[in-house]
Structure 1
Amino acid sequence: MYHSAHARNRKRFFFFWLTRISAVFFGSLLLFICAIFLAAKLAGPMDIPDARPALFYDSRGKLIGKWETKSQQWVAINHMAPSIKLATLAIEDRRFFQHHGFDLRRIAGSAIADLRSFSKAEGASTITMQYAKNLFLTNDKTWMRKATEVFYTIRLEMNESKKDILEGYLNTIYYGHGAYGIEAAAKTYFNKDADDLTLAESSMLAGIPNGPSIYSPLLNYNEAKKRQRVVLDTMVASGFLTKSRADAAYREPLALAHKEKTVQRTAPYFQDAVRQELTGRLHLTAKELESGGLKVYTTLDAESQQAAEYWVQKTIPANSKIQTALVAIDPKTGGVVAMVGGRNYQSSTFNRAVSAKRAPGSAFKPFLYYAALRNGFTPATQLKSTPTVFTFDDGKKTYTPNNFGGYYADKPITMEQALALSDNIFAVKTHLAIGMDKLVNAAREAGITSPLAPVPSLALGSEPVSVLEMARGYATLANEGERVQPDLITKVTDQAGHVLYEWSPQKKQVMNKDASFVLSQMMTGIFDKRLDGYTKVTGAQVSERLTHKIAAKTGSTPTDSWMSGFTPDLVATVWVGYDKGETISTFPETGYAKDIWSHFMESALDGMPENQFKPPEGVISVSMDPKTGLLAGNGCPGRPTYFVKGTQPTAYCSETTENTVKPKKAENKGFFYRLFHWFR
């Protein structure tokens, strides 16, 4: 009996305190909710903020452009076609006039659907919630944002009529192509006022906000039509339309507006690339960029950009259909200082500097010769330049490259001269001698990210890459092996000046410092006539124009012409060719890349020291006869040539020295010596 009474007392005590605690909890919750509603009511109606598109500035803080948007044109709800109101209510919030900002039935249904699919497949946002979010909030995935969204939703419902909320929503929702609000959308897609929209047009427009880049009929007409079908079917299910009326609207032809002509602006291709960075890498939303008052500071150097655009227009005749692209980078930071993505942005907005990939030809050889320097070669290494049939893949395949114009030395030449003359036989011999994976690895280290196949033709630049990639790869060489990431944006601030993003340039030592410097000095040889041999050095056409010491390499294929080069402070890469891969056959066309590049470099380097290269401690300069690879002596002309210390030649040549390499000491007759001897 005692134990039974004690148990009953404990149970009564437990329920007594449980009831009290529950009453306090629910009472506090009720007071908290009442306080929220009271605060929302006292806060009054919400002001509609003006659109403040993001502004773009160059590296000196000069305004160069803004995030493009169409002017928001507010129209009263009674000046909107009834069909757009019904279509929007059906697809977004069919119980809009029955709930008070939160559709509990829809929330419950969404939660059940999500649990069944184990994902967030269903949305439960009402028009009021979306309106509050569109006006005042970012898309940050935080509890504070969700709480603020709830408060603003309550505030709207407490102080605005349903009619005013729907009007505000339709005037602020984003429809793509910079169009905010139904009036701007009607003009953008159909070139008419919102009051004149037909049911077919309204059902098309109502489906766009769910995914403007997916459902825009100007971009993806088929997807837009599928979405229109969904909207019409939802209108039927909501009781707004008959099935026959919906089917007739779906079949009705749509007279879409023509795309507007682009507006001329500063560095348009560069600004487009900035836009991609803002929404892609930095994950800023279109709403933030359209109306958040952001300031975007970029790496663009206005003078360099002006020079790039000037020399493109000056070099290529106006009636030519050939295209071009240019990227200039500050190798110390990776900042893109100039970008040209095509000859005329008005006629083609396609950015060939970042989006197109073409075979770089011999402009790819510096990565090969870096790999060679790291695997037993020196600038003095000699191989025979003569027509050769190469076998690979265990003798199953053959490859027969040709030198440009069919010219060959028919005798051994040094690697320094082979690079200056762009000898293809020497390049492929080198590629096979060191192992084809060595070139792939070197290019990857430098920053080339496009697919690269370890095949013999890779030595001659057969795999397509972008202009930006090539500029990045050359920047690694300019930095003596330190790789940088090309960047366009230095800082982003909000309207209050708070920093949302700030650039912190990163460098990583990925290639050997000494070998990179030796290679850079070999690359200056394309302008040095002392390296002329069976043909002229490849930079002879523009060598007289240059007043600065520049490391560079030309490249050509039947359809592409390249020129890329650098000083320690500037890298520039130029591509010229046809979009559809037509053959470049005439002499002026084959020289456009060299002319644009050389003029641009001279303009951009104006006022800078003529020689900015400073040798690291691990290299040594000797006067070498470029033809024999021996030290210059009596009767042998010399050219200052850098070597990694310990690899420089020790024997002298004379005017009686034969232009061949004599066998070295026995200890040097290793694998590479035997392989070189076999190739000759």
Structure 2
Amino acid sequence: MILLKRTLQFFIICTLIGLITLISLYYYVKPDIPSVQVLKDVQLQTPMQVFTKDGLLINQFGEKRRIPVTIDEIPQPLINAFLATEDNRFYDHVGIDPIGIVRSAIVLISTGEKKQGASTITMQLARNFFLTREKAYIRKVKEIFIALHIENVLTKDEILELYLNKIELGNRAFGIGAAAQVYYGKELKDLTLAQMAMIAGLPKAPSALNPIRNPTRAKARRNVVLGRLLTENYITQEQYNEATNQPITAYFHGAEIDLYAPYISEMVRAEMVSRYGVDKAYNSGFKIFTSVESRVQKAAQTALVNNLHNYDMRHGFRGPVDVLWDPETQPALTQQQIIDKLKPVKELGDLNAAIVLKVNEKTADVILKNGQRTTLDWNNLKWARKYITRYRQSFAPKAATDILTPGMQIWLRKNKDDSYILSQIPEAASAIVSLDPQDGRIKAIVGGYSFEQSQYNRAVQAKRQVGSNIKPFIYSAALEKGYTLASILNDAPINQWDKSQGVAWRPKNSPAVYNGPIRIRRALAQSKNVISVRLLRGVGLQRTADHLLKFGFKNSDINRSESLALGSASITPLELARGMSSFANGGHLIEPYFISEIQDAYGNVLFKANPAMACDENTTLPSNELMLSSSADEVEQPRQCAPRIISKQNAFLIADAMHSGIWGGGSWANKTGWSGTGWRAQALERRDLSGKTGTTNDSVDTWFSGFNSKVVTSVWVGFDNPGNPLGRSTYNNNLDSGQISGAESGAKTAQPAWVEFMRAALEGTPEAPIEPPEGLVSIRIDLATGLLSHKNDYTSRFEYFEKGTAPTKYVLSQPNDIFEEDTKTEEELF
């Protein structure tokens, strides 16, 4: 009796001690137990994804790869694999598994080592979200209490869903959605049983059991998982046998980038970090839809790259990257030695590293980095005359031996027919910006040849002298002062003494051809420098500079000297395209934007662009133009109209004169025809385009800007180091007659990229001319004098005037030869 009493007292005391210990432990770990709200609103660290306007992924940012999935999206065999391996009694216990704990305790007592784990899926979830992996008893206690708390707050399916989205699975993949993509490039529903078992085996040791790093150990672990599935009757013996015989098929799959557009995605990254901070921007699962269209963006990237290669090739071949052996004195390397040598070479863009194996008379045999062998034929070699300077090239080669020797390390590019052409990394740089002039949406933007080579975004960061691309703005100021497109100025040399310098300033046309009295329309179309200077003087320097500021240019970039008329102002391509948009949209200053919409990880819209449009305040927009406010509340706000900076008549007249910059004027049949400096754009066979070339002194910076009412595009080509001229190229006898040669210029260096891009961007779109607004009159004028004309022949044309500015006098009879003009072909430098 006494023994029974003492035994009962012992158990009561132990129970009290246990309860006191349990309560003490609870209050000790209570600060680490998450609140109900934290568990309900737990945020998975999901990378930020950047998309084109039409939904193609162009980049993602974040340290962790995660593709969140719902429990309904997870295949049942994959769920079974995790349950069978990690916690087969998951749906039966309350967050802790007493059987597992007892088993773990027995192992610990018998061996003295913590070999056997007892963590349930709920406990693992508690550790992954709120604790560390430190093997300490107090951590295990915290894990148990947090697990019990989680089970009271969330359903079993919610716990399992969080676990499968949170778990680390190696190679920066977190969650099963990311693991399926990283290891197999698939969605969960497309995985095989063997692949599901492979993923389910990773939580035990994501690095050691990784199928990419340790395929043998990974396969053994996979088969353990399959064995557990068989034991628990989730699969049949036949399924087990088939799955265990499957080979390891995992290899690293990068993010599923649909269109690589690094410059625009970097702009987005910087903006998101500015708005939300680094951690929130990178890990909150934001989905950012940019303003760029995938087809148009791709066309811009292709046009820029092709144009830089074309410039580079006409200036000559600069030689091999390296020489691995001298065929005269050294034995050739073996294929494996060559591949080992090329392995560390970082390839840029569409350039492929290769080694020359053998050179024949008109061909060369080469081996690429991946071991592929190919032959370069003469058509893919004959361009490569030797580069001497930017102004000189050697003779056209007559044989492949004039260009290459065995052992040379070279660059190749793939042609459309899958053949390879000898190439090299371009030394020049370039940028393209294309906008919708009606609301400022950036349709495409490219900041350079290769983001890997240089992250400097020339489209938004490079302030370069704009040359004659400034002239439309100068002429716009002149129209405001009372000039018309029919006004006559003297196209003759200027000599002005500069007292401070003790020299005369002599601005010249380029080429130095002067036509005497000339109409303003033709002067702008043919980019007459002296006329631009005379207009600036007529308007006044300060008044002209003030007018330029209306177009959004920065005051510090607009120098107050007469060289402003020739384009000495330094402006970025984006700023220039924005300014040109005012001529395309009827005189409004739009605000460029590149983010159309921001969504959170659940698809909720946080921001939607609501840009001001080119419209007048009394314009009634249709109801479908209403958009969410930038604060993303539910109140719809109508779009605002962009501010008017010049009259719609002024905008149209400049755009129409720039149309002559492409299509010229006069009558070729009667020997009075003339071309504008942008005549190469006629290849697009569209009458809705206006354009302007631009070249600075010594061809340091070259530009072309052009537009219709729907799209404005500016292209810049130059060197990153200001002051380096683009030079000139001589005619290459190996190439066809359509090649570009002579001094580099806006028309020859920048415009070809504009033409290639616009051909692709405008494909399938109807013409969108800039229509003449009210307040204009069209009157027939005499081409020589700008006065009214009674004639209806090649000596006259209809010209647009703002009401009240048209000439009132008629031209008198003129000698027949007054219309004879110099029609010889010259280089268009400006």
TM-score bracket relative to the smaller structure: 0.5 to 0.7
Whether the 8 Å contact between 2:666 and 2:673 is mirrored in structure 1 is no
The reply to whether residue 619 of structure 1 matches residue 776 of structure 2 is: yes
The one-character-per-residue Cα deviations of 1:348-374 (angstroms, maximum 9, x if unpaired) are 221111111110100011110110000
The reply to whether residue 305 of structure 1 matches residue 297 of structure 2 is: yes
Distance (Å, rounded) in 1 between the aligned partners of 2:488 and 2:816 = 13
The reply to whether residue 524 of structure 1 matches residue 524 of structure 2 is: no
Aligned position for 1:606: 763
The reply to whether residue 510 of structure 1 matches residue 615 of structure 2 is: no
Where do residues 469-484 of structure 1 align in structure 2 (5 Å cutoff)? 469-484=575-590
Aligned position for 1:273: 267
Structure 1 gaps, min length 5:
1-33, 73-134, 137-154, 161-171, 173-177, 181-194, 196-262, 662-680
1:513/1:274 Cα in 2 relative to 1: closer, same or farther (>3 Å)?
A: same
Distance (Å, rounded) in 2 between the aligned partners of 1:327 and 1:445 = 20
The reply to whether residue 383 of structure 1 matches residue 489 of structure 2 is: yes
Alignment partner of 1:441 out of 541, 546, 550: 546
Distance (Å, rounded) in 2 between the aligned partners of 1:547 and 1:45 = 61
Output the amino acid matched with 2:772.
Answer: P
Distance (Å, rounded) in 1 between the aligned partners of 2:644 and 2:474 = 18
Aligned position for 1:417: 522
* Partner-residue secondary structure (3-state), 1:316: helix
Whether the 8 Å contact between 2:59 and 2:261 is mirrored in structure 1 is no
Distance (Å, rounded) in 2 between the aligned partners of 1:45 and 1:497 = 21
Distance (Å, rounded) in 2 between the aligned partners of 1:659 and 1:526 = 25
* Partner-residue secondary structure (3-state), 1:530: coil
Distance (Å, rounded) in 1 between the aligned partners of 2:38 and 2:480 = 71
* Partner-residue secondary structure (3-state), 2:665: helix
Where do residues 160-559 of structure 1 align in structure 2 (5 Å cutoff)? 266-280=260-274, 283-317=275-309, 318-319=423-424, 320-390=426-496, 399-409=505-515, 411-449=516-554, 451-506=557-612, 507-530=642-665, 536-557=675-696, 558-559=699-700
Alignment partner of 1:51 out of 41, 45, 56: 45
Whether the 8 Å contact between 1:407 and 1:535 is mirrored in structure 2 is no
Whether the 8 Å contact between 2:58 and 2:258 is mirrored in structure 1 is no
Output the amino acid matched with 2:728.
Answer: T
Residues matched between the structures, number:
453
The reply to whether residue 560 of structure 1 matches residue 701 of structure 2 is: yes
1:539/1:69 Cα in 2 relative to 1: closer, same or farther (>3 Å)?
A: same
Shift of 1:659: 9.8
* Partner-residue secondary structure (3-state), 1:508: coil
Whether the 8 Å contact between 1:448 and 1:472 is mirrored in structure 2 is no
The one-character-per-residue Cα deviations of 1:88-107 (angstroms, maximum 9, x if unpaired) are xxxxxxxxxxxxxxxxxxxx
Aligned position for 1:656: 814
Larger radius of gyration: 2
Structure 2 gaps, min length 5:
1-26, 67-128, 131-141, 148-165, 167-171, 175-206, 208-256, 310-422, 613-641, 730-739, 820-830
1:464/1:648 Cα in 2 relative to 1: closer, same or farther (>3 Å)?
A: same
1:608/1:538 Cα in 2 relative to 1: closer, same or farther (>3 Å)?
A: same
* Partner-residue secondary structure (3-state), 1:484: coil
Tell which deviates more after alignment, 632-641 or 488-497: 632-641
CA RMSD of aligned residues (A): 3.9
* Partner-residue secondary structure (3-state), 1:471: helix
Output the amino acid matched with 2:505.
Answer: Y
Output the amino acid matched with 1:596.
Answer: A
Whether the 8 Å contact between 1:69 and 1:179 is mirrored in structure 2 is no
TM-score by length of 2: 0.50
TM-score by length of 1: 0.60
Output the amino acid matched with 1:583.
Answer: P
Structure 1 or 2: more helix by fraction: 1
Tell which deviates more after alignment, 52-61 or 472-481: 52-61
Output the amino acid matched with 1:363.
Answer: N
Whether the 8 Å contact between 1:420 and 1:531 is mirrored in structure 2 is no
Alignment partner of 2:796 out of 638, 648, 652: 638
1:546/1:631 Cα in 2 relative to 1: closer, same or farther (>3 Å)?
A: farther
Where do residues 575-586 of structure 1 align in structure 2 (5 Å cutoff)? 575-581=716-722, 582-586=724-728
Tell which deviates more after alignment, 624-633 or 455-464: 624-633
Distance (Å, rounded) in 1 between the aligned partners of 2:578 and 2:470 = 12
Shift of 1:68: 4.6
Shift of 1:40: 5.1
1:325/1:640 Cα in 2 relative to 1: closer, same or farther (>3 Å)?
A: farther
Whether the 8 Å contact between 1:623 and 1:632 is mirrored in structure 2 is yes
Shift of 1:579: 1.2
1:60/1:626 Cα in 2 relative to 1: closer, same or farther (>3 Å)?
A: farther
1:370/1:391 Cα in 2 relative to 1: closer, same or farther (>3 Å)?
A: farther
